[in-house]
Every structure is written in structure tokens, then in C-alpha cells.
Amino acid sequence: MIDTHSHILPGIDDGAETMEETKQLLDKALEEGLTGIIATPHAHHPNFPTDVEKTKAQLALTKDYINEQNLPIQIYSGNECRLSDKLPERLATGQALALADSRYVLLELPSSGVPAYTVPIIQQLIAADYVPIIAHVERNQGIIEKPERLEGLLRHGALAQVTSGSLVGSFGKAIQKTAFSLIDANLIHVYGSDVHNMSKRPFAFKDGLAILEKKKQHEMIEILLSNNECIIQDKTMTILEPLKINKGKWWNLFL
């Protein structure tokens, strides 16, 4: 299994602070049954400085440790790229990293809503042969309030990622309900942990899948895990047709 969203590299952003913590997270990843992790430190986030060279150096350091310990897991390059009209240029010049050297790009929106310029940026990325995957869509306040906003973004060619912590309720009931509702409407394509540390922001990768299993989302589990693999293989994903959103029905899900 591949984790498509992690802050596992040491000393880059608000994720792992030290190499020792990275080592602990790698051990935990193996317990979670993961065979690969895409490292996605924040890029061009207003609260974190961006240093691609440091990111590459810490990735190399982590790979060296994995090889030295002969751990049955691989780590891949990437960024959680903040929404910006400069993003296509940053990707082209190597100032921001696509996921595992693929066409897929993890795109982070402001948590407060969906800016008006989101669609033009999605269109620019697609014109440059990238496929944007919007990170943790279920935690975006604009999408929580009006889920059909996400469908609009997907119609322009974006994909969407849900995170395990949301499924297990780590961010509260409203976000958990949003996550399940988006999955039920076929508006989610990729699954990730968004792991930051061992305590407050753990993997919960298996736990999230177990909850989907209890909800009899067997086909969706297979699709999500397969699509995760498609990223590192740079292959086309399985995309289900979104279910038509009935506004009244959707609002009832949040009562």
C-alpha cells in the first residue's frame, strides 16, 4: 500500500522534527502495512519556508537509512503545493515537486474556502500536462458548507484526496461526515494519511480503511489503493462518474 500524503522528512515543516522521529514513523509505517510513502512537505505555504534543496537532501538521508536498515519500504519525492498562480512555473523550474516524479501534483487550498482563482490554476496545470489532486478536501470549510463546490473543481479536471484522520474522526464530526459524504458521491479518488508525528497526527492508515470496510465500501477501498499505486507508476487512475448532487439531500447529511 502507498501513502500519498506525509510530512515524514525531518526538519522541513510542521512534520517530523528530527531524524529520530522520522525513523519512528518509518517503523510505524511498516506496522500499518505500507510499502511506499510519498513525502509531501509544504511548498510555498505562508507559514513554512520552502527549500527544495533541503527537501531533496532530507529525502536522500531518509532513503539512505531505509537502505542501511534494509527496510521493506520506499520513499518518494513530492510536495504539498500551496495554491498559487505561480505553481505551474514553479513545477516547471523545479521549485515545487510533483508526486513521485509523475504527472500528479498535490494541491493545497486555503482551509477557509475555495478561492475564485482555483479553477484557472487547475486549468493551467492541466494545460501543462499535470493532474492536480486537491489535498484533504473534506477539511476545506467552503466544501464542508457547500459540497457541490468540489464537483465543480473535478469537472475542470482536478482529482480529490481524503485523509485517514478525517475518516477516524480526528478533526471532528463535521469533517468526518463530509469525508463519508464525498466518498459516497464518488468525489474522492486518492487516500493518504497526512501523517505529521506519532502523537497528534499519526498515520491512522489502517484504521481509516477499517472504517470504510465497516461501511461496506469494498469497491472504493480497492479503487483508492489502486489509484495510490497509479501515482508512483504514473498511470491513469480509475475515475467513477460523480453522483448527481441533490442539494437538499446533501444538506440533510450534515444535520
Residues with Cβ < 8 Å from 236, sequence gap 6 or more? 230
Q: Which residue has the higher pLDDT, 74 or 244?
A: 74
Tell me the three cell numbers of residue 38. Answer: 510519498
Tell me the three cell numbers of residue 248. Answer: 437538499
For residue range 77-118, what is the model confidence (pLDDT) as tens digits?
A: 999 999 999 999 999 999 999 999 999 999 999 999 999 999
Residues with Cβ < 8 Å from 101, sequence gap 6 or more? 76, 77, 234
Q: Count of H helices and E strands in the chain?
A: 11, 9
Q: Which residues pair with 36 in a beta bridge?
A: 2, 74
For residue range 5-32, what is the model confidence (pLDDT) as tens digits?
A: 999 999 999 999 999 999 999 999 999 9
Q: Which residues pair with 106 in a beta bridge?
A: 80, 133
pTM of the prediction?
A: 0.93
Residues with Cβ < 8 Å from 182, sequence gap 6 or more? 137, 138, 143, 147, 150, 160, 162, 188
- Which amino acid is located at 244 in the chain? K
Domains assigned to the chain: 2-252 (3.20.20.140)
Dihedral sign, Cα of residue 88, residue 93, residue 95, residue 101: positive
Dihedral of the alpha carbons of 244, 246, 251, 252, in degrees to the nearest 10: -100
Q: Which one, of 212, 127, 118, 122, lies nearest residue 162 by Cα? A: 212
Q: Which residues pair with 105 in a beta bridge?
A: 132
